[in-house]
């Protein structure tokens, strides 16, 4: 699977570890940065990740920052991205099954590496349920205010 991963400075170590793990599992991983622990703005990297999803250069995305909150908000500014903040495998599964999430976000200050791997494993293994959920996902892509 083609997976894009991005973070801010607070999650650089988690991003590197997860990217290596995903590559070891046979995935094509695009690391969208940053490349160092120097302070950066999470929206810049959330937008890059969302753009990769929108362009079709990645099938799934992993967004990381200190809490996972800020970068998930940034990713969700792009209508092609459906990013869910997850903290355990059930939320990752339901995000895919019910919401057709194509990106998950996690907080490096809140989640350990093994739990992050478990979330990603569930996220990548789960198919969208379609059916009654499709009309709801359609409304996410084409909101009516």
Q: Binding-site residues for D-ribulose 5-phosphate, please?
A: 8-9, 66-70, 99, 109, 132, 136
- Give the CA count within 13 Å in the CB-facing half-sphere of 46: 26
Domain 2-141, classified CATH 3.40.1400.10, yes or no: yes
- pLDDT grade for 61, boundaries at 50, 70 and 90: very high
- pLDDT grade for 130, boundaries at 50, 70 and 90: confident
- What digits encode the pLDDT tens for the residues 10-24? 999 999 999 999 999
Mind telling me the catalytic residues?
A: 65, 98
- pLDDT grade for 143, boundaries at 50, 70 and 90: confident
Q: Is the separation of the CB atoms in 62 and 5 below 8 Å?
A: yes
- pLDDT grade for 132, boundaries at 50, 70 and 90: confident
pTM score, whole prediction: 0.95
- Give the CA count within 13 Å in the CB-facing half-sphere of 136: 13
| 83 preceded by a cis bond (ω within 30 of 0) | no
Percentage of the chain surpassing pLDDT 70? 100
List the domain boundaries for the chain.
2-141
Q: Is the separation of the CB atoms in 2 and 30 below 8 Å?
A: yes
Task: Find all residues with CB under 8 Å of 84, minimum gap 6, and list them.
Answer: 72, 91, 92, 95, 99, 101, 103, 104, 105
The per-residue pLDDT for 129 is 84
pLDDT value at 33 more than 80: yes
Q: Binding-site residues, please?
A: 8-9, 66-70, 99, 109, 132, 136
- What digits encode the pLDDT tens for the residues 83-117? 999 999 999 999 999 999 999 999 999 999 999 99
* Cα 86 from Cα 8, distance rounded (Å): 17
SS3 sequence of 40-82: CCHHHHHHHHHHHHHHCCCCEEEEEECCCHHHHHHHCCCCCCC
């Amino acid at each position: 699977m083609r997976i894009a991963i991005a973070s801010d400075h607070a999650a650089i170590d988690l991003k590197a570890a997860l990217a290596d793990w995903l590559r070891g599992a046979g995935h094509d991983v695009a690391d969208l940065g940053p490349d160092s622990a120097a302070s950066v703005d999470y929206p810049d990297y959330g937008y890059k990740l969302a753009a990769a999803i929108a362009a079709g250069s990645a099938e799934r995305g992993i967004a990381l920052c200190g809490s996972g909150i800020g970068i998930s908000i940034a990713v969700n500014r792009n209508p092609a991205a459906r990013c869910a903040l997850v903290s355990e495998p059930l939320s990752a599964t339901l995000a895919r099954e019910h919401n057709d999430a194509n990106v998950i976000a996690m907080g490096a200050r809140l989640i350990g590496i093994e739990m992050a791997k478990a979330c990603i494993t569930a996220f990548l293994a789960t198919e969208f349920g379609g059916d009654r959920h499709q009309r709801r996902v359609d409304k996410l892509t084409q909101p009516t205010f």
